[in-house]
Amino acid sequence: MNSLRKYFDKIKPNFEEGGKLHAFRSLYDGFETFAFVPNTTARVGGTHIHDAIDSKRIMSLVVIALVPALLFGMYNVGYQNALAAGQLENATFWGMFFFGFLAVLPKLIVSYVVGLGIEFTVAQWKNEEIQEGFLVSGIIIPMIVPVNTPLWMLAIAVAFSVIFAKEIFGGTGMNIFNVALITRAFLFFSYPSSMTGDDTVWVAQNAIWGLGFDVPDTFSAATPLGEIAAGLTAPTTSFCDQVIGLIPGSIGETSVIAIALGACLLLWTGVASWKTMLSVFVGGALTGWCYNALGLSTLDACQHIVLGGFCFGAVFMATDPVTSARTEGGKWIYGFLIGFVAVTVRVLNPGYPEGMMLAILLMNLFAPLIDYCFVSRNISRRAKRAIK
Amino acid sequence: MSTLFSKANKEALINPLNLNNPVVMQVLGICSALAVTAKLEPAIVMGLSVTIITAFSNLIISLLRNTIPNRIRIIVQLVVVAALVTIVSQVLKAFAYDVSVQLSVYVGLIITNCILMGRLEAFAMMNKPWPSFLDGIGNGIGYAIILIIVGFCRELLGSGTLLNIQIVPDWCYEHGYVNNGMMTMPAMSLIIVGCVIWAHRAYNKDLV
């Protein structure tokens, strides 16, 4: 650590005013503050409180919480590939994992390079400190797309959402919509055939560098929710597989267990709000139970929660502190409605097998309104108390 | 000729093209900018139709402006505009049937186009016929320019064609290029109009 600090100190003059690398000032600043907590204190005079951890540290925690789901996603990519090729007995654990690793890594790199590239450029251009919000979005984005998404599509979608969902609104902390979900929504509406269309998008088709297997051209695998939308009464995968995550789906969303690990870390450190998270699950379960009881859906409440992106969205995206409701009471309503809308879209709209993305984006839009209602209710209640 | 194109008249014609553009400055006529711009051809035809109707309705109302009772002026304006819209709609049906099918109700809806009523109320009711005519042409073309920009982007990126001629070469498709489906949805034209406004304001800093 000491040598890194020394190295940073050594190259620092190059990036200061008049230095030869001044054009990359924000790049240096971004990496320095990422590696070391900035040594700034509150100004003297007035009341300022600096929290012990700044937003870069919070973001890093979320990234750590995402790692189990990402690693499992990599393994599952390899597992699905071997399963599709009918070579499961010939595949080793590490072989499948490295195949998935190689399939996912380019997406991760593209997502970070494009997103951070835009962030650094904007920060440099506006002469601001580099914002770190993309640290989390950049790892979430590859996890919520199918494994066969072409890289150029991903690059365009990331650029679109960083510019139009984030920088336009003023950068990190100002965005109305979740950046990662806007990326997915852009892909979903722009290139539907690569996102859901035929069912060949969910399983990696070709061997990479001798790892993995070539899948026969005719093979297709639907996600469990896709199967339901196509008219089956029950998914072909077992409930056990669905919980562990050995089912076709977007890279990081399949495993409930891996997501639960991340959720524990987020809740234990207090980064994510337990109220939002819990109410999403409650809303989804209640709605799923109602539809099941009414005979509109063949899935029971439990499966609605386990399948698709429900858990991933509830844990990592509904709780996004920027775009979710901020009042304590508002969080309950916000979360509950996400669960309700997600399951409703799944059940009632035959065109969209999965509704989590649309539900969270819709509620992102209403979060400020929910907050406004709670704040004004508080104000009027206190005003009444004062008058009495 | 010097009086025909005096400074004030020139301004009436030129201003709406850029600094006082009806779409990007006054944000009028957005509905049709969303509805008809999925392809370039209908966008051009729509822009032309609106230009003709704005110009002539401005001219006619300006001629009548001293005889129109103030309390029923809106209904008189509507009658004039509706007559012109009907003429344009019939001409389109006769000579450009395919486009008129694509435009469907939106030709008829020119009657409700905010730019038209705005120009009639704001300009033609208090100016002489010739400046009003120029103002109508200017505003119509200002509107058409934006429609054409939006239509250009949406058709090129959404369908890979321009005026129904394929622009994106086949080898792109063979190498995995896919048209952007969102460009064919109306929502995307709002974002493109937003980009145009962004560029316009960035270029004309004093408008901000």
Per-residue CA distances from A177 to A183, A359, A361, A367 (Å) = 10, 12, 6, 10
Per-residue CA distances from A159 to A123, A162, A177, A325, B137 (Å) = 15, 5, 15, 26, 39
Residues A176 and A362: beta-carbon distance below 8 Å:
no
Question: Taking the model in full, what pTM does it have?
Answer: 0.86
Residues on chain B touching A126 (C-beta within 8 angstroms): none
Asked if residue B198 belongs to a domain, the reply is no
Q: Distance between CA atoms of A161 and A155, rounded to whole angstroms? A: 10
Q: CA-based diameter of chain B, in Å? A: 66
Chain A contact for B174 (CB, 8 A cutoff) = no
Chain A contact for B69 (CB, 8 A cutoff) = no
DSSP letter at B166?
Answer: E
Q: What is the pLDDT of residue A218?
A: 65
Judge whether residue A10 has pLDDT over 70.
yes
- The string of DSSP codes covering B139-154 is HHHHHHHHHHHHHHHH
Q: Nearest CA to B46 among B147, B152, B156?
A: B147
Asked if residue B170 belongs to a domain, the reply is no
Chain A contact for B191 (CB, 8 A cutoff) = yes
- Find all residues with CB under 8 Å of A191, minimum gap 6, and list them: A153, B178, B180, B181
Q: What is the pLDDT of residue B1?
A: 47
pLDDT grade for A39, boundaries at 50, 70 and 90: low
| Closest Cα in chain A, distance from residue B36 (Å) | 19
pLDDT grade for B15, boundaries at 50, 70 and 90: confident
What domain count does chain B have?
1
Residues B50 and B64: beta-carbon distance below 8 Å:
no
Q: Distance between CA atoms of A331 and B15, rounded to whole angstroms? A: 50
- B28-36 mean pLDDT: 83
Q: Cβ–Cβ contacts within 10 Å for residue B179, how many?
A: 18
Q: Percent of chain A, pLDDT > 90? A: 37
Asked if residue B61 belongs to a domain, the reply is yes
| Closest Cα in chain B, distance from residue A127 (Å) | 17
pLDDT grade for A72, boundaries at 50, 70 and 90: very high
Instruction: Look over chain B and give the mean of its residue pLDDT values, rounded to a whole number.
Output: 87
Q: Distance between CA atoms of A147 and A245, rounded to whole angstroms? A: 15
Q: Which domain holds residue B48?
A: 26-151
Tokens 């709670």 belong to residue: A374
Q: What is the pLDDT of residue A362?
A: 94
Q: Give the model confidence (pLDDT) of A252-263 as tens digits.
A: 888 899 999 999
pLDDT grade for B108, boundaries at 50, 70 and 90: confident
| Closest Cα in chain A, distance from residue B15 (Å) | 28
Residues B6 and B127: beta-carbon distance below 8 Å:
no
Q: Distance between CA atoms of A260 and A266, rounded to whole angstroms? A: 10
Asked if residue B165 belongs to a domain, the reply is no
Identify the sign of the CA torsion A14, A19, A25, A27: negative
Chain A contact for B182 (CB, 8 A cutoff) = yes
| Closest Cα in chain A, distance from residue B195 (Å) | 10
Residues on chain B touching A152 (C-beta within 8 angstroms): 176
pLDDT grade for B84, boundaries at 50, 70 and 90: very high
Q: What is the pLDDT of residue A18?
A: 67
Q: Give the model confidence (pLDDT) of A319-344 as tens digits.
A: 988 899 989 999 999 999 999 999 99
Which phi and psi angles does A215 have, rounded to 5°? -95, 140
Judge whether residue A133 has pLDDT over 90.
no
| Closest Cα in chain A, distance from residue B161 (Å) | 17
The more confident residue out of A164 and B34 is A164
Q: Give the model confidence (pLDDT) of B161-203 as tens digits.
A: 888 888 888 888 888 888 888 888 888 888 999 999 999 988 8
Judge whether residue A1 has pLDDT over 80.
no
Judge whether residue A282 has pLDDT over 60.
yes
Q: What is the pLDDT of residue A114?
A: 93
Q: Cβ–Cβ contacts within 10 Å for residue B185, how many?
A: 15
Task: Label residue A45 left, alpha or beta by phi (over 0 means left) and psi (-120 to 50 means alpha).
Answer: left
Q: Distance between CA atoms of A134 and A137, rounded to whole angstroms? A: 5
Token representation of residue A140: 């979430």
Nearest CA in chain A to B182: A190
Amino acid in position A384:
K
Judge whether residue B30 has pLDDT over 90.
no
Helix (H, G, I), strand (E, B) or coil at A221: coil
The answer to whether the Cβ–Cβ distance between A190 and B183 falls below 8 Å is yes
Token representation of residue A197: 């269309």
Token representation of residue A206: 């070709």
**How many residue pairs bridge chain A and chain B with CB atoms within 8 Å of each other?**
19
Instruction: Look over chain A and give the mean of its residue pLDDT values, rounded to a whole number.
Output: 84
- Angle at which helix B129-159 crosses helix B40-64, to 10 degrees, equals 170
Asked if residue B185 belongs to a domain, the reply is no
- The string of DSSP codes covering A258-283 is HHHHHHHHHHHHT-S-HHHHHHHHHH
Asked if residue B145 belongs to a domain, the reply is yes
Which phi and psi angles does A211 have, rounded to 5°? -95, 155
Give the residues across from B155 on adjacent strands.
none
Q: What is the pLDDT of residue A377?
A: 93
Asked if residue B35 belongs to a domain, the reply is yes
Amino acid in position A267:
L
Q: Give the model confidence (pLDDT) of A353-368 as tens digits.
A: 788 999 999 999 999 9
- A149-158 mean pLDDT: 92
Chain A contact for B178 (CB, 8 A cutoff) = yes
- A150 → closest Cβ in B176, B181, B191: B176
- Find all residues with CB under 8 Å of B126, minimum gap 6, and list them: B65
Q: Nearest CA to A134 among A182, A71, A70, A73?
A: A182
